[in-house]
Structure 1
């Protein structure tokens, strides 16, 4: 086969028919071989792949979607890209889906159900192969879009027992409960909960905090400091100072994430507050740098990379028409006790 033997469309693009002609097979066989279907003999698959490589063939996703009524694209909708937690999830999803021939499309919702609905309308118009969505906080219209599309969907980071809903995550409530119990076991009685952003998963951690303190009869609603502002280290320091100004008897603070807790530790260092002697500090997610704080931060380690991989594998099965052994896969969490508590 010589390069000048190719017959191309006027655009100059090498087509599937060119590949089939070079491999001496039908276009249908070439298509099946490139998709990795088992019905094609291995020697034919190798011949088609060699022809595609020599011709520089790049599949046309639009044509493929038209022929199969489904593309090879998988939208993944996350709240933020500035949060390392979701970057880790996306990396694991991409690494799992790419070798199987699927392209990851990233959509950012900014914690807005309305923005998520808009993204879903856009992505579903292109007939994606599957969907990966963060949590369950969405509009009723978005739920109807997902249900009516017939596109396989897996939810990340949260769990539900709802019939027909596939999800991979852990119990945010149980994780919040476990951290609060740890602080109680360290002898702390005036435990505050400080949060920002106030997305559904943050509020689930708050519910775990409340349950634990109520079980011990020491819950005080005044020790909850909830800010709708975006989470940051700077805000963590400010919220710590606000909390201690209004409640100087607080002896422990459970921050809803490590960004806030890291900022609080830096503020405590500047203000000369003894951690953990005077005040215990705890965070959530075990983000980069938490083990390097002074003192190192006690936190909850979440399996975000494993969640990304497991959810992608669950979706791969659903896209093949296989039902997973578990609709709701709980990957748990780990309490990481360090010097700040």
Structure 2
């Protein structure tokens, strides 16, 4: 019902009501933008996909009108009309962990000045969900996919072999993919820091980590091999927990470890957060670091250089890994040959004040 100016009430016509609703709800179309700018829809489409093909003045005018009208490109229509929908899908197990932030920065840096958009999905280390996520992305015709840390390739390989788009990988180099791969040898990333601690005179070296994924399990294998080779392996020195690798867990693990192995004299922790927890617990118990206990972390997070004592740790070039895997994928999307098809980015040990 509506009320007239003289107070009479009546019924609004359905056509007027529908017309108002239609105008309010109808999305802005490409043809609407083209009409406003005064060019063809194909010119608008091309300018949004490849801005460099139009003049600077026209590009600025198109972008201004797009912003003004609130036009949102239809990616589904784009996928139907072309090879792909303009999205790069990234499947990762741990978006919530600090170590993956640098990886994402590297990926974003490489795609920033392209016409591609990055979309992330998080498996939370559930291997059984990896194939389902990849299958879901592939049905949407992505430009490409980055699998950043798969737990298992058993169910992924058939999908990868039949994918219509290129798929690049961040992996432990022992895993199956043989092309479009960037990663490192996590076995060596467990072995070399253990050798480093032995070289500094530590003998009873504990390993802190759950072995929840293939990368951490490979590091445990590297640690164990070196400790066995030195005649110092003791399974009681490997300890983990069900909680995420955080500072509180580090304190708890060290408190439990020192009760059962009181002569432990070093800890190799699988994250800097765990290592920080060990350091805090040592201070609470009056254990001198590095004289009585050496501590080595993993990931070289920002705080590691500024705590007291500063933290010896393992640096992984995660931002470079992200950039290089994105560059590798981008070249494949553009049908350009890669500089390299399989890259070992390595790691480095950063000695600081928490070890002798």
TM superposition score category, shorter chain reference = 0.7 to 0.9
Which TM-score applies when normalising by structure 1? 0.87
1:303 matched residue in structure 2: 317
**Are 1:53 and 2:64 counterparts?**
yes
2:162 matched residue in structure 1: 148
1:123 matched residue in structure 2: 137
Root mean square deviation, CA, Å: 2.5
Shift of 1:49: 5.8
2:298 to 266, 284, 291: 284
1:263 matched residue in structure 2: 277
Give CA deviations for 1:181-229 in whole Å, capped at 9, x if unaligned. Answer: 1111101122121213621111111122122223333333332223343
In structure 2, relative to structure 1, the CA distance for the partners of 1:163 and 1:104 (3 Å cut) is closer
Shift of 1:151: 2.1
Query: 1:155 touches 1:311 (CA, 8 Å); kept in 2?
Result: yes
2:4 matched residue in structure 1: none
Determine helix, strand or coil for the equivalent of 2:88: strand
- Higher-Rg structure is 2
**Are 1:321 and 2:335 counterparts?**
yes
Shift of 1:245: 1.2
Which whole-Å CA distance do the structure 1 matches of 2:63 and 2:287 have between them?
A: 66
Determine helix, strand or coil for the equivalent of 2:132: helix
1:239 matched residue in structure 2: 253
Query: 1:197 touches 1:228 (CA, 8 Å); kept in 2?
Result: no
1:213 matched residue in structure 2: 227
Q: Give the gaps of 5 or more residues in structure 2.
A: 1-21
- Matches of residues 80-159 of structure 1 in structure 2 within 5 Å? 80-138=94-152, 140-159=154-173
**Are 1:36 and 2:36 counterparts?**
no
Which whole-Å CA distance do the structure 2 matches of 1:61 and 1:258 have between them?
A: 41
**Are 1:229 and 2:272 counterparts?**
no
Give CA deviations for 1:152-172 in whole Å, capped at 9, x if unaligned. Answer: 111125325856432212222
Query: 2:92 touches 2:149 (CA, 8 Å); kept in 1?
Result: no
- Matches of residues 52-71 of structure 1 in structure 2 within 5 Å? 52-55=63-66, 56=69, 57-71=71-85
Q: Give the gaps of 5 or more residues in structure 1.
A: 1-8
Determine helix, strand or coil for the equivalent of 2:112: helix
Equivalenced residues, count = 330
Which TM-score applies when normalising by structure 2? 0.83
